[in-house]
Every structure is written in C-alpha cells, then in structure tokens.
Structure 1
Amino acid sequence: MSFLGLSSRSPFALNAGAAAGVFQVTLGLIGVFRPQVMLQDIWGFKTSTKPGQDQLVIESLMQLYGMRNVALGLMILAVRTFADSRTLAWVLMSDMLVAIGDGFIQKKATGGGEWKHWSFVPVGVGMGMLLLGYFD
C-alpha cells in the first residue's frame, strides 16, 4: 500500500478529527463575539482601555481571525462528514501550518506565548497519522 493510500477505519480517529473542527469553531466564535477576551486572555496582547480608531482596527482584525477559525473548523467538520479519513488527515495536518504561523506572529508581537499555538502541532500531526492508518 502506498504512502498516500493508507486509511484508518477507526470511528475514534474520525471523531477526534471532528473534535478538532469543533475546537476551531469555538475559538473562532470567541474571536468574533468577544474579541477582547481573545486578544487579552488567549493571545496575551495588552490593549488600550480608551476607545479609538486603533482599538477598532485591532478588534476588527481579531474578528477576521475569528471568522478564519470558524471557516477552518467548519471545513474540517464538512470533510469529516462527506469525505474519507485520508482527506481529513491531510486537512488536519495542513491546518497545522496555521498554528505554526500563529505561533510566530504571537512571539513577534508579544515576546512569548508561541507554545499556545505550537503545542497543537504534534496533536494535529498525530491525528493525521492516526487517520492515515499508521496506528491501526
């Protein structure tokens, strides 16, 4: 069987992939509806308390980030529902590029906190390998 031909038949693996999608949708909704919570508590940014144009731009960008996560999470759930485990595996593993990028951006902007994002990389790759059938 070729490298790309492996596939898991485990319902646990498929449901774990769906859980990753639900997690991303949840983070995205926090970003959309509670941008200050996402900025301060999750990303660790210190934001200004006085309202102004800069604050509006920052909150708007956080809401864009939230919508990105909602879209990625819904994509994962759609792949879980309508495709096979190989497709879900590669979607989850490619989604780890987002976590890597977010980690570098947070490190640059706040001086730390990159492991809040990078800690998901081995989990995503592991779930991808599980879905590809490497642990069957």
Structure 2
Amino acid sequence: MPRAQSPRGSFLSLASTLFATIFVACGINACIRPTHALSFFSFEPPAGAADQKLVDSLMAVYGVRDIFMGLVIYIANFMGTPKSLGWTLIVTSLVAFADGALCWTHGQGYWDHWGYAPIILVLGALALGSSPSKSN
C-alpha cells in the first residue's frame, strides 16, 4: 500500500509537511528579521553597528539553512521513499539537537530546540518502519 494511502503514511506525510513548513517559515524569518530570529537562541542583539551587521549576515546563513532543510523534507515527503523521508527527518532532528546544545552552552533556550527534536526523530523512525523491507 502506498504511503499516502495508509493511515501511518497520511500521518507521517502531514506531520512532515508541518515541520517542513515551520522550518521554511523560521528560515524566512531569520533572513527578513534577523534580530527576532536571534531571540530563538536566547541571545541579545549586539550593540555595535559592525557587530549587528555580522550577526545579521550569520542569521541569513542560518535562515537559508532552515529553508533548505524544509525544502529537503518536502522533497523527501512528496517525491522520495519512506526510507529517504525517514533518514532526512532523523538528520534534521540532529540539527535541532545541535542547536539546543549551542544554547545549552550559553545557559538558556535549549529546550526550545530539544523539545521538538525528539518528535522529528520519532517521525523519522516511523517513516523508516513504514519502508517495505528488501530481502537480499
């Protein structure tokens, strides 16, 4: 049964689309409103103009990264296999864990990332579990 027709497949597809949309939206936010996106990491904006310019540029890089992750999830979800979606979600969860670890080193904001990372990890594992097994 194709993934989209099974109850598990519909749930995975919907949940994956939701997370992909959140990543794309956060990426656009980081590119357009870097100071607001910086608050997701519990950092204060820098005081100096040169420092602010650097932070704005780095937040654009972060934004492009999030947009890319969202687009890759969309592609794996709609054009790939359950296995490709599963591994894409698992790797994406590792990015969220890493973002949380960065915040943890600064003492705050880590649960803003660690709260959703396990959900994406479980979705990835479920997608892998929905893959038809190949016997060699």
User: What TM-score do you get using the length of structure 1 for normalisation?
Assistant: 0.83
Of structures 1 and 2, the one with the larger relative CO (CA 8 A, separation 6+) is 1
Deviations 1:29-79 (A, max 9, x none): 110111011112x2211123x451111001110111011000110011011
**What's the counterpart of residue 74 of structure 1?**
71
Q: Matches of 2:129 and 2:99 in 1, distance apart?
A: 28
SS in 1 for 2:42: coil
Q: Give ranges in structure 2 of 5+ residues lacking alignment.
A: 131-136
Q: Give ranges in structure 1 of 5+ residues lacking alignment.
A: 1-6
User: What TM-score do you get using the length of structure 2 for normalisation?
Assistant: 0.83
**What's the counterpart of residue 117 of structure 1?**
113
C-alpha RMSD of the superposition: 1.7
Runs of 4+ in 1 over 4 A off after TM superposition: none
Q: Identity of aligned pairs, percent? A: 30
Would the aligned equivalents of 1:14 and 1:131 in 2 still touch at CA under 8 Å? no
**1:127 maps onto 2:126 in alignment:** no
Would the aligned equivalents of 1:25 and 1:71 in 2 still touch at CA under 8 Å? yes
**What's the counterpart of residue 45 of structure 1?**
43
1:26-45 alignment runs, 5 A limit: 26-40=25-39, 42-45=40-43
**What's the counterpart of residue 23 of structure 1?**
22
